[in-house]
Amino acid sequence: MLNNLSPQNPDPIMQLITLCREDPRETKIDLGVGVYKDGAGNTPVMRAIRAASKKVWDNETTKVYTGLPGDPAFGKAMRDLVLADSVEGSRVAAIATPGGTGAIRQAFELARKANPDVTVWTSNPTWPNHLAILKFMGLPNTEYAYFDEASCTVDFDAMMDSLQGVKAGDMVLLHGCCHNPTGANLTLEQFGTVADLIADKGALALVDIAYQGFGDGLEEDAAPTRLLASKLPEMLVAASCSKNFGVYRERVGCLMAISEDASITPNTQANMNYLNRIAFSFPPDHGARLVTTVLTDDALTADWKDELETVRLSMLGLRTQLSEELRQRTNSDRFDFIAQHRGMFSRIGATPEEVLKMREDFGIYMVSDSRMNIAGLNPTTVPLLAEAIAKSCK
C-alpha cells in the first residue's frame, strides 16, 4: 500500500541548506533557514531558558499527564505576554500546542468546526506552510493583496480593496508582527482599519504571532494583536515561542481564542481541548514549562527580556548597516526599505535569476523568492552581501 503514496517535493529551504553546506567557498553566506543566529553563526540556548531548565530539573516531581489544554499556568502566561489587559481573561480560552505550527493547525480546525464553509484569507505572500496546511485540509483559501514587489512595502490600498471580498464567517489571517516572508508590516493605524473591516464583515481574525520581540520591542510587537483584541468581538491568536525564547525543537506554541462573551468561553475551551485530544491527546509540556518558568520569575523574565533585546538590536543594526552599504554602492535609496522592514526576514524584490546569480557568483544563499534571513549576517559579511546585491540586481 505504501507504494501508492505520491512523491513529496523536497522542501526548497532544506535543499538550500544542503547546497550551502556543500559549497566549498569560505565566503559563502547562508540566509535561508528561519532561525536566529548570533554573529558567530550559532543559535544559542537563551540564558533564562538554561536557568529555567535547571529550576525545572530541581523542582519537577512528576511527569504525569497535564490536562488536554496543557498546564493552565502556561496559557495564563501566554495570555499576559501577548494580550496583556487588552481583553478580559474570562473571554480567553487557551491550549498549548506543538509550536506555532500546531496552534495554526488547531486554529484552522476550530474555524472549520465553527463554520464548515469557512474561507481562509491569507496575505500574498505568506508563510508557505499556511498554504500547505490549508491545502492539505481542503479548506478554501483566498489571497489578499499585500506586498508591492516594486517598492518592497505594503500596498495597503490594494490590501483593503481585496479584503472587500471577505464574507461573514470567513477567517482573515494576519501576521501580528514581523511579516514572514516579506519583513514589511502594517502600521498600528492600518491594523485598526483592518480590524474595522473584519468587524464590519462579520469575519474571524486569526493573528499569527511568531516573532514577538524581534521587531520594535516586546510590547510594541504585541500592540497590533492587542488592538485587534480590543476592537473585535471574537478572535484567534496563534503564538509561537520558538524564536523569542529560542526553544525551536521543544515545540512550544499556544492557541488563544477570544469569545464574544465570557459565558461562551467554557464551550470554546472544550472544543479546543477536543481538538488536542484527537490530534495528540496532551500537548508537549517541557518547553512550555520552561517558558512559564521564565515568565513567572521576575529575575528570569528580566534576563530574558534583556537577551531578547540584544538579539533584536543586533538584527536592527545589521539592517541599518546593509541599507547604508547599498546606498553607497547603488548611489540610490532603492534598498532603504531593508532598514524599515522588521523581524528576521526581508524580501528584497530580486528575480529568481538574480537570486541564482548571487548564489553562483557570490555564494549567497537566499530563498528563490528573494527572502533573506537577516540573522544569517554579521557585520563582516554585510559588505559582501551588499556587493553581491549591487552587482546582481537590476
Q: Which residues are catalytic?
A: 127, 208, 210, 243
Half-sphere exposure of 30 (CA within 13 A, CB side): 23
Question: CA 152, CA 334: separation in Å to the nearest integer?
Answer: 9
* 34, 215, 224, 283: which one binds ligand PMP (CB under 6 A): 34
* Smallest separation, CB 152 to ligand PMP (Å): 18
* 99, 176, 183, 287: which one binds ligand PMP (CB under 6 A): 99
Instruction: Tell me if 32 contacts ligand PMP by CB under 6 A.
Output: no
Question: CA 385, CA 355: separation in Å to the nearest integer?
Answer: 12
* Smallest separation, CB 200 to ligand PMP (Å): 26
Compare residues 180 and 381 and give the one whose CB is closer to ligand PMP.
180
* 121, 127, 337, 362: which one binds ligand PMP (CB under 6 A): 127
Per CB under 6 A, contacts with ligand PMP among 167-186 are 175, 180
* Smallest separation, CB 97 to ligand PMP (Å): 9
Nearest to 228 by CA among 274, 303, 173: 173
Instruction: Tell me if 101 contacts ligand PMP by CB under 6 A.
Output: yes
Whether the link from the prior residue into 181 is cis, omega within 30° of 0, is yes
Task: Sort residue 370 into left (φ over 0), alpha (ψ -120 to 50) or beta.
Answer: left
* Smallest separation, CB 329 to ligand PMP (Å): 30
Per CB under 6 A, contacts with ligand PMP among 248-287 are 253
Nearest to 107 by CA among 139, 83, 78, 66: 139
Compare residues 35 and 264 and give the one whose CB is closer to ligand PMP.
35
Q: How many chain residues are in contact with ligand PMP, going by CB under 6 A?
A: 12
Site string for ligand PMP, 46-85 (x = CB under 6 A): ----------------------------------------
Instruction: Tell me if 100 contacts ligand PMP by CB under 6 A.
Output: yes
Compare residues 254 and 364 and give the one whose CB is closer to ligand PMP.
254
* 106, 122, 242, 323: which one binds ligand PMP (CB under 6 A): 242
* Smallest separation, CB 66 to ligand PMP (Å): 19
Compare residues 170 and 208 and give the one whose CB is closer to ligand PMP.
208
Half-sphere exposure of 70 (CA within 13 A, CB side): 33
Grid cell at residue 227: 488592538
Residue with cell 494576519: 174
Site string for ligand PMP, 349-368 (x = CB under 6 A): --------------------
Compare residues 225 and 242 and give the one whose CB is closer to ligand PMP.
242
Instruction: Tell me if 346 contacts ligand PMP by CB under 6 A.
Output: no
Instruction: Tell me if 208 contacts ligand PMP by CB under 6 A.
Output: yes
Contacting residues toward ligand PMP, per CB under 6 A: 34, 99-101, 127, 175, 180, 208, 210, 240, 242, 253
